[in-house]
Structure 1
Amino acid sequence: MFIAMKKRTLSFLTLIILFIPTLKAQIDVDLRAKFEHAEDLKHHFYGFSLYDADSGRFIFGINEEKHLMPASNTKIFTVLAALHILSDSIPGLQYVERGDSLIFWGTGDPTFLHNRLDSHKVYDFLKRSGKHLYYVPTQPKEPFYRNGWAMEDYDEYYQPELSSFPIYGNVATFRAPQSGSLSVVPALFQELIHVREQSSNRANFALSRKFDTNVFEMSSINVKRGYVNEKPFKYSDSLFLQLLVDTLKKEVKMIDYEKPSDTHILYSNSRNEMLREMMLPSDNFMAEQFQMMCSFVKYGEFDTRRIRSDMQQEYYTHFTDKIDLQDGSGLSIYNLVTPRSVVELLALLQSKVADEAVLHRLFPAGGVDGTIKSAYQLDQGQPFVWAKTGTLNSAYCQSGYILTRNGRRLIFSFLNNNFVTAPRTIRKEMVAIITHIRQNY
């Protein structure tokens, strides 16, 4: 009986093995026709790769070996680095006590006094301390902008300056509680709001920051009630100290002090919750600061180029295609990856996060939340795609996980570059193809 059962088992496995190439051929014919009829994909460069996570096989690809700019799909690489290097909680403060003194260093934590994400653990620790406070600044080994960033975006909300000890997310938040009145947090910047010379009170309202100072200029006083905007401020250690003293309402001195070996770490937030906060709205600042924290934990210094190099040696050299990353957020136009390598990255993440629900929660869910909430409709009342988007000028990308109606678990990467049409037209074609895969495979 055992022999008979074994024969039946072998026969069943043989059928599966024979079925997979047949399915692959059917998918190839079907999807190739879908791409050929996608008119809005014909005028730019794109690549697509599809992988069956259950069988461990690539089942379809078009230009999957071509290097393309991934935009914010780069953040998926940052997720891998964070899961690999950081513990369950992110480091919020490094400190040592010496007599009546508390000496502390930044860790790269982006959540300190952040208007949404601050756990208040670091703030409360410093506020309640009865010791004299001394801050030791640490200079990162890189400039506050990464290679390939657009310098003209210096005062856009999505590109704050990077630092070893961020405060308020390194942005000033402006609000108009009533028409013609503008307030700002931190309040320290209130006196630095000016009306632009030769401006007209009838002109449309606009707010900008001068490149090399923290002077913010209004184009007019015609600001409407309910206006909200975030502008990065020009970061410096002295400004950080001013802001810290202003909020703690106690004296803090800045000193040069060699870091001893017996320092302690105060943890501030859940790593996975912060990764979710990075991925769903595609927060560039948080992505870069995650790499800063990884560098701090691994080397005791801030050198994100070294993190990317080490991740390359440990993981990416085993991918089919070369990976070239200049940052952790995807703002750099120098980042280049292939769809096939992004799929391999997603498969690697799937192997590292055993609980699929935990993994999916790190990604926007189509029809539910994040950057693809409005892109997809629920199918049979359920989300079926969990994917990271990536958007830059002439770049729109999606990469992630698909659950088909038949229960098949698929991984995909769809990268689009160099189009001159509106991104929404590209997104429409992508959504149609991903939805077709959901409903037919």
Structure 2
Amino acid sequence: MKKIYFTLLTIALIGCASNKKLSKQINQSFDNDFYKNQFTGFFVYNPTSGDTLISYNGDKYFTPASNTKIFTLYTAHTLLPENLPTLKYIVENNEIYIEGVGNPASLHPYLKDSSMIDFLKNQQKINLFYTNLEDTKLGPGWSWDDYDTYYAPERSALPLYGNIVTMDQGDSLFVSPSYFKENVSVINANRRRSMHENKFYLNPSKKDTVEVPYITDSSAVKGILEDILKKKITLVTEFPKGEKKTIYGIKADSVYKRMMRVSDNFIAEQLLILSSSMLTDTLSGHKAQEYILKNELAGIQQNPRWVDGSGLSRYNLFTPESMVFVLNKLYKEIPKETLFDIFPTGGETGTIKNYFKGNLEPYIHAKTGTLSNNYCLSGYLETKSGEILIFSFMNNHYRGGSTEVKKHMTPLLEWIRDHY
């Protein structure tokens, strides 16, 4: 018995010494001129042993950018079913009343979910209730002049086509959804869309496909649906009382993968809204956030300031330690192969396809977070010894570009891969 105890104590002491060496080596790496005028945080955790290996400003708050999507992923994973809800409805007096639930996949250019449209094609008199979204169309702290950029579509109760108009000149003008074709002018203009109207402008000298958010008011959604279904839609101000039925669409994992791999802001925002539909009839991403923080994430050490689903807002504040807390919960609850496939993989997929390559074998599965002067990377690191480590590496307020930041991050991550 004494021999077993001595052996276990020796292993523990060796492990402790190894952890201290690792922490010392990494902390020394931050003591150079590159990190002098920026703010950096790095937290590394071993989910098997429960040890914190490195905490360099791990409990300090950072602007996370799209690392916010990690919290959105956990919310969706916790609240949503395997197949995503697309529509709620009630049939009354031979008429159908419908309301959106925030699902981002309906007729999305990449996700292409047609389940809602297929259902509505078989209905005769359709009444649309479109006032069940409590959130604002644009998130708190979003930049106002992003309104005509592909990465900042409006949030809505009933998204269609990703809330984006796709335009391409080609041999002839292509516009999707076609409902907006008459609203497109091929002229030189300062913006791609009027700020307060669904009037779009396509530069005649550019032949690339252009994606522009449309204003998601009730008249636009009604018009798009009528154009697709070839039947009249009536807008109503009240939804009948009674038990609502739900139409379900595509698998959730395919939507999560799109959100995380290409850092799709629209999908992230809508998944947070969709998650709230499992809690209340009034759609509100904020209510989903409150629920998750109060219940599933009650043990988090540093409570975040979490204001949107995508990380577009600079109002968001998270610590590296809180990121690792949620990543660890995902690691415990989702099979490793499935989880790592959802996240971008260094050198292979998504936003880190050209970075953190790992030579012969990929070793990083992580979500990026990029805003001007901010670059974060949080996820999972596979070591050469076979260990899985969870990390969050946050960089804020540097003056140069993110490429230089990644160059300095890479040797630190590789050193941990090779020496732990």
Common fold, TM-score beyond 0.5?
yes
| Structure 1 residue 272: Cα displacement | 1.7
Alignment correspondent of 2:399: 420
Alignment correspondent of 2:183: 192
Alignment correspondent of 2:108: 114
Confirm or deny: 8 A CA contact 2:148 2:191 kept in the other structure. no
Confirm or deny: 8 A CA contact 2:165 2:213 kept in the other structure. yes
Q: Tell me the secondary structure at the aligned position of residue 299 of structure 1.
A: coil
Alignment correspondent of 1:397: 376
Confirm or deny: 8 A CA contact 1:182 1:223 kept in the other structure. no
Q: Could you give the per-residue CA deviations for residues 336-365 of structure 1, whole angstroms, max 9, x where no partner exists?
A: 011111111111221222x11112122111
Opposite residue 405 of structure 1, the aligned amino acid is K
Alignment correspondent of 1:36: 31
Task: State how far apart, in whole Å, the 2-side matches of 1:401 and 1:177 are.
Answer: 43
Alignment correspondent of 2:223: 242
Among 370, 376, 379, the residue aligned to 2:350: 370
Task: State how far apart, in whole Å, the 1-side matches of 2:3 and 2:100 are.
Answer: 63
Larger Rg: 1
Alignment correspondent of 1:63: 57
| Structure 1 residue 289: Cα displacement | 0.4
| Structure 1 residue 432: Cα displacement | 2.2
Task: State how far apart, in whole Å, the 1-side matches of 2:391 and 2:94 are.
Answer: 57
Among 293, 297, 315, the residue aligned to 1:312: 293
Task: State how far apart, in whole Å, the 1-side matches of 2:278 and 2:291 are.
Answer: 14
Q: Could you give the per-residue CA deviations for residues 72-91 of structure 1, whole angstroms, max 9, x where no partner exists?
A: 00000011111111111110
Q: Tell me the secondary structure at the aligned position of residue 138 of structure 1.
A: coil
Confirm or deny: 8 A CA contact 1:41 1:429 kept in the other structure. no
Among 18, 35, 40, the residue aligned to 1:23: 18
| Structure 1 residue 140: Cα displacement | 1.5
Confirm or deny: 8 A CA contact 1:91 1:267 kept in the other structure. yes
- TM-score under structure 2 length normalisation: 0.95
Q: Could you give the per-residue CA deviations for residues 212-250 of structure 1, whole angstroms, max 9, x where no partner exists?
A: 1111234x52233xx111000111111101000101122
Once the two structures are aligned, what percentage of the paired residues are identical? Answer: 32
Alignment correspondent of 1:79: 73
For structure 1, which segment, 250-259 or 276-285, has the greater mean C-alpha deviation from structure 2 after superposition? 250-259
Task: State how far apart, in whole Å, the 1-side matches of 2:147 and 2:61 are.
Answer: 28
Alignment partner of 1:14 is 2:23: no
Confirm or deny: 8 A CA contact 2:131 2:237 kept in the other structure. no
Among 66, 84, 90, the residue aligned to 1:90: 84
Confirm or deny: 8 A CA contact 1:278 1:284 kept in the other structure. yes
Q: Could you give the per-residue CA deviations for residues 140-166 of structure 1, whole angstroms, max 9, x where no partner exists?
A: 112111111111101110000010001
| Structure 1 residue 43: Cα displacement | 2.3
Task: State how far apart, in whole Å, the 1-side matches of 2:347 and 2:2 are.
Answer: 46
Among 203, 223, 231, the residue aligned to 2:206: 223
Alignment correspondent of 2:197: 213
Q: Could you give the per-residue CA deviations for residues 128-186 of structure 1, whole angstroms, max 9, x where no partner exists?
A: x14322222133112111111111101110000010001111110011214xx543211
- Unaligned 5+ segments in structure 1 are 1-5, 200-204
Aligned-CA RMSD value: 1.8
For structure 1, which segment, 160-169 or 247-256, has the greater mean C-alpha deviation from structure 2 after superposition? 247-256
Q: Tell me the secondary structure at the aligned position of residue 184 of structure 1.
A: strand
- TM-score under structure 1 length normalisation: 0.91
Q: Tell me the secondary structure at the aligned position of residue 301 of structure 1.
A: coil
For structure 1, which segment, 100-109 or 66-75, has the greater mean C-alpha deviation from structure 2 after superposition? 100-109
Q: Tell me the secondary structure at the aligned position of residue 7 of structure 2.
A: helix
Alignment partner of 1:261 is 2:242: yes
Q: Tell me the secondary structure at the aligned position of residue 170 of structure 2.
A: strand
Task: State how far apart, in whole Å, the 1-side matches of 2:191 and 2:174 are.
Answer: 12
Task: State how far apart, in whole Å, the 2-side matches of 1:67 and 1:247 are.
Answer: 47
Confirm or deny: 8 A CA contact 2:193 2:201 kept in the other structure. yes
Alignment partner of 1:151 is 2:131: no
Task: State how far apart, in whole Å, the 2-side matches of 1:257 and 1:17 are.
Answer: 65
Alignment correspondent of 1:347: 328
Q: Tell me the secondary structure at the aligned position of residue 75 of structure 1.
A: helix
| Structure 1 residue 108: Cα displacement | 0.5
Task: State how far apart, in whole Å, the 2-side matches of 1:313 and 1:233 are.
Answer: 35
CA change 1:26–1:161 in 2 (3 A) is: same
| Structure 1 residue 206: Cα displacement | 7.1
Q: Tell me the secondary structure at the aligned position of residue 318 of structure 1.
A: coil
Confirm or deny: 8 A CA contact 1:72 1:329 kept in the other structure. yes
For structure 1, which segment, 245-254 or 154-163, has the greater mean C-alpha deviation from structure 2 after superposition? 245-254
How many residue pairs get aligned? The number is: 420
For structure 1, which segment, 300-309 or 105-114, has the greater mean C-alpha deviation from structure 2 after superposition? 300-309
Opposite residue 149 of structure 2, the aligned amino acid is E
